[in-house]
Amino acid sequence: MNKLFVIGNWKMNPLSLKKAKGLFDSIKRDFKSVKKTKKVEVILCPPFVYLATLGISSSARRKASYGGLVIGSQNCFLEEKGAFTGEISALMLKNLGCKYVIIGHSERRKYFQETDAMINKKLKIALRIGLIPILCIDKISQIKNGMKEILGKDIKKIIVAYEPIWAIGTGKACGYKEAKEFNVLMKKVLGKNHPTLYGGSVNSKNASGYIKESGFHGLLIGGASLKPKEFLKIIKLMVEQF
């Protein structure tokens, strides 16, 4: 295990800039107390509207002025530029200072009818622009379909998160054994060293098991990423794995 990822997906939260700033500052402040290691990458994915106003910028990223935290976005559009009212380009995100982008989250597949073909376009654009994609899946077929026509050297850059739909936001996390079985299937397709994550009702009580028992390279966290103390506990548990 070379590196672990802890990704906070804020989804459509919080509902005001003031609260978003409060959450961001609180995580940044507490994160200062965590033993620094390049082996754990902590990525926050706030809603688009807060990215710039939270002080996220390419120069801030260069200076690592989020105190070691890294910024990602929750989505991007499937075209790089053009007349697409209301959409956000991967290039805008990259230019703003984002390093990662979540693609194909099950909520986007369900509520916005995102298909594997659309997700494939988004992956290609993110890779071309230089954003690291975090591809969310809950079926093995979504890996091959989403990665169609993507070259092996680029496939290596895609982090793949297993998120069983029934476990997302329900408080019913997947058992370690079942998660491990799915992880083994993912590694058969992707290669044994490919970074794979688990997501679905992760908290500080169950987090470590997905690394130690199920063999994942990190966690994609929704609800618990909105609770700074709980999120920090999970980060500390990941740092302790090394």
Number of alpha carbons in the 13 Å side-chain half-sphere of residue 183 = 26
Kindly state whether residue 142 participates in binding ligand PEP, applying the rule CB under 6 A: no
- For the question of residue 105 being annotated catalytic, the response is yes
CB of 235 closer than 8 Å to CB of 31: yes
With CB under 6 A, what is the number of residues at the site for ligand PEP? 14
Which residue in 41, 105, 107, 217 is the catalytic one? 105
What one-letter code names the amino acid at 52? A
SS3 17: helix
- For the question of residue 163 being annotated catalytic, the response is yes
Smallest separation (angstroms) from ligand PEP to the CB of 163: 5
Which residue's Cβ has the minimum distance to ligand PEP? 222
Binding mask 154-193 for ligand PEP (x = CB under 6 A): ---------x----xx------------------------
Smallest separation (angstroms) from ligand PEP to the CB of 169: 4
Among 40, 129, 190, 221, binds ligand PEP (CB under 6 A): 221
Candidates 87-95, 138-146, 152-160, 221-229; binding stretch for ligand PEP (CB under 6 A): 221-229
Closer CB to ligand PEP, residue 71 or residue 168? 168
Among 46, 146, 164, 200, binds ligand PEP (CB under 6 A): 200
Smallest separation (angstroms) from ligand PEP to the CB of 112: 15
DSSP codes of every residue in the chain: ---EEEEEE-TT--SSHHHHHHHHHHHHHHHTTSPP-TTEEEEEE--HHHHTTTT--HHHHHTTTTTT-EEEES---SSSSSS-TT---HHHHHHHT--EEEE--HHHHHHS---HHHHHHHHHHHHHHTPEEEEEESSTHHHHHHTTT--HHHHTT-EEEE--GGGTTTS-PPPHHHHHHHHHHHHHHH-TTS-EEEESS--TTTHHHHHHTT--SEEEESGGGGSHHHHHHHHHHHHTT-
Kindly state whether residue 67 participates in binding ligand PEP, applying the rule CB under 6 A: no
Among 75, 89, 142, 201, binds ligand PEP (CB under 6 A): 201
Closer CB to ligand PEP, residue 11 or residue 121? 11
The residues annotated as belonging to the active site are 105, 163
Applying CB under 6 A, the residues found at the interface with ligand PEP are 9, 11, 163, 168-169, 199-202, 220-224
